[in-house]
Amino acid sequence: MKNVILICPYSEREKWIDAFGKLIPNWDIQSLEEIQNKDLITTALVWNHPKGVLKTFKNLNLICSLGAGVDHLISDPDIPKGVKITRIVDPLLSFSMSNYIIMAILQYHRKFDKYIKDQKNKVWDHNLSPEIDISIGFLGLGVLGSDAAIKLKNIGFDVCGYSLSHKKIDGINCFYGNQMKEFLSKINVLVCTVPYTPKTHNLLSEKLFNKLKTPTYLINVARGKVQNEIDIIKALDNGILTGAFLDVFEKEPLPESSPLWNHEKIKITPHIASITNAEAGAKQIIENYTRNKKNEKLINEINLQKGY
């Protein structure tokens, strides 16, 4: 039965077809170009799909995101109502994301920018205090944010976090709801790990930065649309932010004309903090496909209204 369609950028299509082929060799997955009868399609495997295309599949009952994020789905106003949506939660994603965040924090904490400049200038400055005192705050305490927060706490850092609903994480002071201002007043390193939803659009903006305890170092590994890049540059120039380590951007790839490239206080990586492992993701998708056929509870199902 040709009832599964794969919709993703062409550059990623082969790795997903290979991953599914290793697990179920006879699973017949079609692309948009190959589809002959849309009425047969019940399951869509998607990443950055053309907006509006999913509503053309009248018998669709399961949409599987090919990554941890679902912003590409919730931003589509024509997503069919009542269709179940799942995302991928992969321990390897958490491992990679936590390592990236820890790396970004340690290079700031241990003043690596200073030592890189000293090396270029052949300066041996042994008298400099080698560490910056930091208090780390996680804006978003989902799977990825919580994992990194716990690991940083175990290293010995002062860590707190904020989420919309109350969370309990051993050893971490968790703020929620209307406690955002109190949360921001206690930190000087802000790590953004929130999902992208209409409520988090441009969350990292002047309004939020003005509530920060200055100077504050910003790390964004969430989504590009969560940040206002003009406001970030302004906050850096005004001294509200001491630096920014950015892995995501409003427009990707980041245009060559973007002023972010040349700002001395900004570090840029090309959305590589964590990348979904296709084989691990394929296992979860096949599991949900099987469960859905049996009307069983799905794993990692998302609430479309909440956006996560």
Residue 6 host element (H or E): strand 4-7
Q: What is the pLDDT of residues 129-161, one digit of tens each?
A: 899 999 999 999 999 999 999 999 999 999 999
Task: Enumerate the active-site residues.
Answer: 223, 271
Cβ-based burial of 243 (10 A; exposed 0-12, middle 13-18, buried ≥19): buried
* 118 shares a domain with 55: no
Number of structural domains, the chain? Answer: 2
Residue 127 has what pLDDT?
86
| Assigned token pair, 126 | 């042994």
* 223 shares a domain with 181: yes
* 85 shares a domain with 97: no
Residue 208 has what pLDDT?
98
Residue 1 has what pLDDT?
56
| CA–CA dist 114, 118 (Å, integer) | 6
The torsion defined by the Cα of 80, 81, 84 and 87, in degrees rounded to 10, comes to 70
Residue 307 has what pLDDT?
78
Q: Which residues of the chain have pLDDT under 50?
A: none
* 31 shares a domain with 131: no
DSSP state of 172: B
Residue with tokens 């399961």: 62
Boundaries of domain holding 97: 91-268
Q: Is residue 17 part of a domain?
A: yes
Query: What φ, ψ does residue 125 adopt, rounded to 5°?
Result: -105, 85
Distance of alpha carbon 256 from the chain centroid? 23
Residue 210 has what pLDDT?
96
Residue 124 has what pLDDT?
96
